[in-house]
Amino acid sequence: MKYALTLPLFAVFFAASSFSQEPIYRCGNEYTNTKPTSEKSGCKLLEGSNVTVIQGTRPNASANAPVRVATATPSSTPRIDSGDQKSRDSDARQILESELKKAEARQVELVREYNNGEPEKQGGEARNHQKYLDRVTELKASLSRNESDIAGIRRELGRLPASK
């Protein structure tokens, strides 16, 4: 019984002692509990809060090293002559232009079907308004997706060299 009362007292004593802390000073990005020797050091006393500092990982030396850019291509990389490259660019341009035409035709169809947010009701949508609202939402999302597809195709076409 005697020990039963002393154990809670020790717990209270250790808990109270862990809350008391020496004054903490902030010197730039560094925290210290030693008082700065001069006021010119720019250290400020932090009052009323505990400071928790989490040690981070140190960056690798290779991460700070400058990035080297290869200036010469390895001899194992095959070279493509300019005629073949022009042919490939021309094929890529034709493919992108046909994809652009398909996307623009799909956009016209979607705009017509969307009808400014009021498409005509189909089948069971007259009785089930939520089904109609879901289709309107899906049409709007399809319009947005198709617009971004068209913009992406146009960007890719802009990156290709001009056809001659």
Q: How far apart, in whole angstroms, are the C-alpha atoms of residue 131 and residue 124? A: 8
Ranked by mean pLDDT, the top range of 13-22, 71-80, 84-93, 144-153 is 144-153
Cα distances (angstroms) measured from residue 34 to each of 24, 48, 51? 8, 17, 14
User: Residue 96: is its pLDDT beyond 80?
Assistant: yes
For residue 28, give its domain range: 10-52
Establish if 5 belongs to a structural domain: no
155 and 86, same structural domain? yes
Which pair of tokens denotes residue 44?
């400020």
Establish if 73 belongs to a structural domain: no
Establish if 104 belongs to a structural domain: yes
Establish if 121 belongs to a structural domain: yes
Can you give the pLDDT at residue 19? 55
Establish if 66 belongs to a structural domain: no
Q: How far apart, in whole angstroms, are the C-alpha atoms of residue 164 and residue 157? A: 14
151 and 95, same structural domain? yes
87 and 40, same structural domain? no
Which pair of tokens denotes residue 132?
């109609």
Q: What amino acid is encoded at 44 in this protein?
A: K
99 and 140, same structural domain? yes
Establish if 108 belongs to a structural domain: yes
155 and 87, same structural domain? yes
Can you give the pLDDT at residue 162? 81
86 and 154, same structural domain? yes
Establish if 38 belongs to a structural domain: yes
Q: How many CA atoms lie within 13 A of 120 on its CB side?
A: 4
Task: Note the helical H segments in 37-80.
Answer: 61-64
Total number of domains in the chain: 2
145 and 92, same structural domain? yes
Establish if 164 belongs to a structural domain: no
**Considering the entire predicted model, what is its pTM?**
0.50
